[in-house]
Amino acid sequence: VTQLEQQGAYAAKSAEEAAQGANALITMLPAGKHVAGLLSGPDGLLAKLHKNTLVIDSSTIDAETSRAVHAEAKKYDLLFIDAPVSGGVAAATAGTLSFMCGGSADAFEAAKAPLSAMGANLFHAGPEGAGQVAKMCNNMLLAIHMIGTSEALKLGEKNGVDASVLSEIMMASSGKNWSLEKYNPYPGVMPASPASNDYKPGFMVDLMTKDLGLAMDNAQNQNSATPLGALAYELYKQKQANGEGARDFSSIIELIDALPRSDK
């Protein structure tokens, strides 16, 4: 904020002050209770915005809360869109984030300009809450293939296969995936990765565990089977219990290495 002030921006003293007279409002908060607390109710920001104001919530929260806030925004004739992001710190810095958006076609169209200033990929996932659903599905899959990549690299290591060589082989084969290509969990394979920098985040274990929890709650509500997602959630909760919540989520490879050997 200080850097922005030095470049001529004004730092509001409160969220309410920041929203006064705004044509667009963007929020990014830790959990659904924070989003609802800020936006909803007679004292929330939605009640104080002008008609047709664009509201973009880029928090990663449960779809149920997001849909409730959508419904309240509609009462005030606001354009509301849930637009959680993917890409991490590097993409945020480069302005190449992916936004997964849920809401009306009109709201998505209005959101394109501000979101394009921050991201390279804008997706209209569907109606209210669909952005949150897309984000939780993506991150559940991310956790699963990070764990699978870690298992494969550790199994190769125990058989004397160099992790860099094995990574190159799998990148040219059917095992290729984002974790292997962009975020290798094995130290030294990618010099700029968290794995090669003592697992400094990056994307923290705490955040991955939170997102997996959202996915598991939604899966239960929708009666959808997620056996691998549930296992990934348990493994990341174990990382948290070990006091490693602030480490990068790719450090799951250390837990994989410490687990008992597989039964035949």
Is 250 within a domain? yes
- My answer on whether 123 and 139 are in the same domain is no
Q: How far is Cα 206 from Cα 244, in angstroms, rounded to an integer?
A: 8
Report the number of distinct structural domains present in the chain: 2
Is 236 within a domain? yes
Both tokens of residue 140?
């559940």
Is 59 within a domain? yes
- My answer on whether 247 and 161 are in the same domain is yes
Does 135 participate in catalysis according to the annotation?
yes
Most distant CA atoms of the chain, gap in Å: 65
Length of the chain: 264
pLDDT along the chain (264 residues), means of 10: 88 92 94 97 95 97 97 98 91 94 98 96 98 97 98 98 98 97 97 96 95 97 98 99 98 96 68
Domain-ending residue, one of 127, 153, 181: 127
- My answer on whether 110 and 16 are in the same domain is yes
Catalytic residue among 135, 154, 210, 239: 135
- My answer on whether 141 and 232 are in the same domain is yes
- My answer on whether 158 and 60 are in the same domain is no
Domain-ending residue, one of 127, 150, 167: 127
CATH code for the domain of 149? 1.10.1040.10
Both tokens of residue 160?
């004397």
227-241 vs 130-158: helix crossing angle, rounded to 10: 70
- Is it true that the peptide bond before 202 is cis, omega within 30 degrees of 0? yes
Both tokens of residue 108?
């998505």
- My answer on whether 102 and 168 are in the same domain is no
- My answer on whether 151 and 188 are in the same domain is yes
Q: Which amino acid is at 136?
A: M
- My answer on whether 191 and 109 are in the same domain is no
- My answer on whether 195 and 150 are in the same domain is yes
Which pLDDT does position 87 carry in this prediction?
86
Q: Domain limits at 220?
A: 134-258
Both tokens of residue 156?
């190769």
Q: What is the reported pTM? A: 0.91
- My answer on whether 123 and 223 are in the same domain is no
Please report, for the chain, how many H helices and E strands are present, in that order: 12, 6
Residue 183 and residue 145 in contact, taking contact as beta carbons nearer than 8 Å: no
Q: How far is Cα 41 from Cα 48, in angstroms, rounded to an integer?
A: 10
